[in-house]
Amino acid sequence: MPDPELKRDFLRHTLATLAYRGGKAVRNAPAEFADFQGAGRRPVQVLAHIGDLLDWTLSMAQGKREYTESQPLLWDEEVERFFSALQRVDNYLASAEPVHVPIEKLFQGPMADALTHVGQLAMLRRLAGAPISGENYYMADIAVGRVGPKQAAPKKEF
């Protein structure tokens, strides 16, 4: 069985990956993107859902298991909420506080869902006529603990 601290570090790396990829998907989005009607939920609704998933992740880690579906805020506020929620989860995982559910369940549930929705935002950007550049994410400078809006510059975009 892997060391529990290694699992926490891996989940923190997942959060940093989500911050990097999510930051790219929301950064410099045109003002009209938030309400783009492309397929299903509007981008601002998708981003609000990601914030809800991150709040749920923290809640479960703390042993509360509370999920709340929030009403979307304005786009810039949702972007701020996204990074704030990432920071709160990362801070908890970096602390000595116990994680009350299996790390694997946090990954397979809310974290994998959040990664899926970041991909959805990237696809919606393309449909809305404001695509982001493709990138070799293997080469990206993603670091545990770097979960804010300020991310490393891409190393290999295409």
Is 26 contained in some domain?
A: yes
What per-residue confidence (pLDDT) applies to 36?
A: 98
pTM of the predicted model as reported, rounded to 2 decimal places? 0.96
Q: For residue 68, is it within any domain?
A: yes
What integer is the mean pLDDT of 84-90? 98
The pLDDT of residue 136 is above 70: yes
% of the chain exceeding 70 in pLDDT: 99
Q: How far are the Cα atoms of 22, 35, 81, 118, 121 from residue 92, in angstroms, in the given order? A: 20, 33, 16, 22, 26
Is the residue at 150 inside a domain? no
CATH number at residue 94: 1.20.120.450
Q: Which domain holds residue 93?
A: 4-139
Task: For residue 148, tell me if it sits in a domain.
Answer: no
Write out the DSSP string of 39-75. Answer: SSS-HHHHHHHHHHHHHHHHHHHTT------PPP--H
Determine the average pLDDT of the residues in 113-140. 97
Q: Bridge partners of 78? A: none
Residue 156 lies in a domain: no
Report yes or no on 47 lying in a domain.
yes
pLDDT above 70 (res 1): no
Instruction: State whether residue 84 is helix, strand or coil.
Output: helix
147 within a domain of the structure (yes/no): no
In a domain, 74, yes or no: yes
Can you read off the two tokens belonging to residue 126?
Answer: 């393309």
Q: What is the number of structural domains in the chain?
A: 1
